[in-house]
Amino acid sequence: MTTPFSFSLGATDGQARTGAITTSRGTIRTPAFMPVGTAGTVKAVQMRDVKATGADIILGNTYHLMLRPTAERVARFGGLHKFSTWEGPILTDSGGFQVMSLSAMRKLTEEGVSFQSHIDGSKHMLTPERSIEIQCLLGADIQMQLDECPPFPISEEASLESLELSVRWAKRSKAAFEEIAGRHQALYGIVQGSVFPDQRKRSAEALQEIGFPGYSVGGLAVGEGREAMFGVLDVTTPLLPKDKPRYLMGVGKPLDLVGAVERSIDMFDCVLPTRSGRHGQAWTWDGPLNLKNAQFVDDETPLDPASDCPASRDYTKGYLNHLFRAGEYLGPMLLSWHNLDFYQRLMAAMREAIAEGRFDQFAEEFRARHRERKG
């Protein structure tokens, strides 16, 4: 149980790289996509099926679990792994981002952020110390510092103020982590600085001063758009240590993943595959399909006959179309499952292409084939 956290680089191909993160609950093959299991469940998909798609690690949320069922209750059940039956590594976000996007009556001070629950209006306070305490009660293998994710757009001076607060919170998060976390657990720093290159540099350098075994790139996927996001990665990832994992938070669509791997990102999480699956959107090598669309009513082909995932291989698009039109539970279940499997097959294909030194060709062919919008 006390295998220390470690990262080993595998192959590099341009800026893209493969690697392996060793944790006490298993190894994470990078580049890795983490299915989002916000409230201790990857919505509408059983953990054994999440595992079968090839996911090595899932994400949980401090914000949601502290409100319901509370971190203390999860700890009494033996931690999030036992409570949810996910036996592999779990990464938890620290809650600040979710407080700002979900809660009411938020008040942010140097101490932390106070807020009212979006569920029952109860009052709560998240400080760097309390966030680490919650993540340890959950038993997360990889934890996040408490940070402030600035809104987009934001003025340069407001962004700098926010970045400096997040650096002070990084120090406090690390101090709290060193007090109570186990040797097998890891804490990542989160780089901020919005879309300002000099601020990204300042944040990356300040966090390395403090020292972390992994670095998240935060403050993106907040409406800045793909080109601006890639522009931030172009200036940020070269500043981070090559021998430590880089995690791009909240990203993204398949084309975002390919472009970010091209800019040496190792880890991703996004609600898109499960959230869009619940609403009838299937992701494929050729781009997204809206299976509620009339064009699929009589379509007798599966989403991907080449997949070993039952949701992708054993059901016709016509049947899936029927399930969504009839409002049947099985529709969201099957599409969430298929989309997670597609995301894992995309990650596996990228890992293989990097290992074989042909990632540029893979990326070019994928971008030519994957049409995000019809026409």
Ligand X SMILES: Nc1ccc2nc(N)nc(O)c2c1
Query: Nearest-CA neighbor of 97 among 244, 231, 221, 235?
Result: 221
- Where in 121-150 is the site for ligand X (CB under 6 A)? 144, 147, 149
The reply, when asked if residue 219 is annotated as ligand binding, is yes
Burial class (CB in 10 A: 0-12, 13-18, 19+), 39: middle
Q: Which of 28, 55, 167, 222 binds ligand X (CB under 6 A)?
A: 222
Instruction: Give the residue among 347, 187, 189 at the shortest CA–CA distance from 261.
Output: 347
Report the residue number, 40 or 250, with the smaller CB distance to ligand X: 250
286 marked among binding-site residues: no
In terms of CB distance, is 144 or 309 closer to ligand X? 144
Q: DSSP letter at 62?
A: H
Query: Is 93 annotated among the ligand-binding residues?
Result: yes
Q: Which stretch binds ligand X (CB under 6 A): 91-99, 171-179, 254-262, 298-306?
A: 91-99
Residue range at the interface with ligand X (CB under 6 A); choices 19-27, 212-220, 255-263, 308-316: 212-220
Count of residues engaged in binding ligand X, rule: CB under 6 A: 15
We find the least distance from the C-beta atom of residue 36 to ligand X, in angstroms, to be 10
Is 192 among the annotated ligand-binding positions? Answer: yes
Q: Which of 13, 49, 56, 93 binds ligand X (CB under 6 A)?
A: 93
Strands (E), 84-161: 90-93, 104-108, 113-116, 123-126, 142-144
Backbone Cα Rg of the chain: 20
Between 101 and 155, whose beta carbon lies closer to ligand X? Answer: 101
60 binds ligand X (CB under 6 A): no
Q: How far is CA 10 from the centre of its chain?
A: 22
Q: Three-state SS string across 205-222, please?
A: HHHHHHCCCCEEECCCCC
Residue 96 contacts ligand X per CB under 6 A: yes
- How far CA 333 is from CA of 76, 214, 274, 297, 340, in Å, comes to 30, 33, 9, 19, 11
Is the backbone peptide bond immediately before 4 cis, with ω within 30 degrees of 0?
no
- If binding is defined by CB under 6 A, does position 189 make contact with ligand X? no
Please count the other Cβ atoms lying within 10 Å of the Cβ belonging to residue 308.
12
* 256 in contact with ligand X (CB under 6 A): no
When asked if residue 170 is in the footprint of ligand X (CB under 6 A), the reply is no
Q: How far is the CB of 149 from ligand X (least distance, A)?
A: 3
| Stretch of 55-63, 92-100, 108-116, 358-366 contacting ligand X, by CB under 6 A | 92-100
Among 80, 187, 190, 240, binds ligand X (CB under 6 A): 190
Determine contact, residues 114/122, Cβ cutoff 8 Å. no
* Contacts with 308 (C-beta within 8 Å, 6 or more apart), sequence order: none
CB of 18 to ligand X, least distance (A): 24
Residues tagged in the binding site annotation: 93-97, 147, 192, 219
Query: Interface with ligand X by CB under 6 A: which residues?
Result: 93-94, 96-97, 144, 147, 149, 190, 218-222, 249-250
